[in-house]
Amino acid sequence: MGPEHPERPDRIRAIERILEHERFQVLLREQAPYGERDAILRAHPEAYVAALERAAPTEGIVELDGDTTMMPATLEAAMRAAGGATLAVDEVMQKIVANAFVAMRPPGHHAERATPMGFCFFNNAAIAARHAQKAHGAERVAIMDFDVHHGNGTQDIFWSDPTVMYCSTHEMPLYPGTGAASERGEYDTIVNAPLPAGANGDVFREAMEIAILPRIEEFAPDLVIISAGFDAHRLDPLANLRLVEADFAWATKKLMGIADRKANGRVVSLLEGGYDLEALARSAAAHVMTLMGT
Ligand SMILES: [Zn+2]
């Protein structure tokens, strides 16, 4: 994204470093492949993908919006983020692995059908959900997004799709400005639980318990996708919630419980935001440890 941008390569380095710990050595690790064009086209129109390809510079930086820029390697990273998401879906749906976490960047949940924004180009969670449906026969997919920002892009893509439930907790008011509880989608499958600045883990857990978890349970998804942003952490510089690692682990465990009861345990988790490197690494580690069942 360019120098001094919060969405930076060190984010993935910090996660990779903490996952080198002995307790994670049993994990199967794979390099994210390039995304298949057909998989990306299930969430974005052809003209949008072509426009991004045209915009991608061979040198220097081009600005797509005030905080979303492309460098020569950006398109490959975005393609591999999408490819990592669909590979995770493939392996979870084929029972090669019980669940999967994709430490990817750029993130995806702000990318709308035909608009890149908020550091996002391809909506990885949307691509993953549609891939589970089209390539693996999943009927219903639930996406839980606990990134501190509202996933306007994911909401946009599934607004009129009753087969995908999109749920989000997020600080409000905050970028991007969407995500009021009254935004429920054409088929009441969008579930927004905005939280006020300063809200801590107790407030987050209560919102999950009351507004979100019963809705996902009732929806009975065949796959649970987590848009796992860790910028609701109290140390994050981009927002003002006060979650800690244990809150992310708690939410992960609750979602795994629903997946166990409704979806044969199938969970695919995709990294979104998280901009304090220490908090990001520790939160991702707590999240992955929970996914491992430890
Ligand atoms: Zn975020």
Q: Over 90: is that where the pLDDT of 45 sits?
A: yes
What is the reported pLDDT for 291?
98
Is the pTM here over 0.95, yes or no? yes
List of residues 6+ apart from 191 with CB closer than 8 A = 165, 166, 167, 168, 184, 211, 212, 215
Q: How far apart are the first and last CA of the chain?
A: 35
What is the reported pLDDT for 4?
86
**How far is 74 from 79, CA to CA, in rounded Å?**
9
Annotated catalytic, 170?
A: no
- Dihedral in degrees, nearest 10, Cα atoms 269, 84, 241, 208: -20
SS3 133: helix
Closest CA to 232 of 151, 111, 116, 142: 151
Residue 94 CA to ligand 1 centre (angstroms): 30
Residue 230 CA to ligand 1 centre (angstroms): 7
Residue 200 CA to ligand 1 centre (angstroms): 16
**How far is 241 from 198, CA to CA, in rounded Å?**
5
List of residues 6+ apart from 66 with CB closer than 8 A = none
List of residues 6+ apart from 200 with CB closer than 8 A = 234, 241, 242, 243
Kindly report the average pLDDT of the chain as a whole number: 97
52 to each of 22, 58, 70, 82, how far by Cα in Å?
Answer: 40, 13, 9, 14
**How far is 251 from 9, CA to CA, in rounded Å?**
26
What is the reported pLDDT for 286?
98
**Percent of the chain whose pLDDT exceeds 70:** 100
40 to each of 72, 128, 145, 293, how far by Cα in Å?
Answer: 20, 9, 20, 31
Q: Cβ(142)–Cβ(167) under 8 Å? A: yes
176 burial (CB, 10 Å; 0-12 / 13-18 / 19+) is middle
**Superfamily of domain covering 10-291:** Histone deacetylase domain (3.40.800.20)
Segment 191-215 shows an average pLDDT of 98
Segment 60-89 shows an average pLDDT of 96
Q: Over 90: is that where the pLDDT of 1 sits?
A: no
What is the reported pLDDT for 22?
97
164-171 vs 141-145, strand pairing mode: parallel
Segment 35-57 shows an average pLDDT of 97
Q: Over 90: is that where the pLDDT of 203 sits?
A: yes
- With tokens 């919060």, the residue in question is 6
Residue 177 CA to ligand 1 centre (angstroms): 12
Residue 208 CA to ligand 1 centre (angstroms): 18
Rounded to the nearest 5 degrees, what angle is found at the Cα of 12, between the Cα atoms of 213 and 222? 30
Set 110, 131, 150, 170: catalytic member: 110
Q: Over 90: is that where the pLDDT of 273 sits?
A: yes
Paired tokens of 10: 């060190």
Chain segment 131-166, per-residue pLDDT in tens:
999 999 999 999 999 999 999 999 999 999 999 999
The domain segmentation of the chain, as residue ranges, is 10-291
- With tokens 């390697």, the residue in question is 73
Residue 250 CA to ligand 1 centre (angstroms): 19
Helix (H) or strand (E) holding 37: helix 37-40
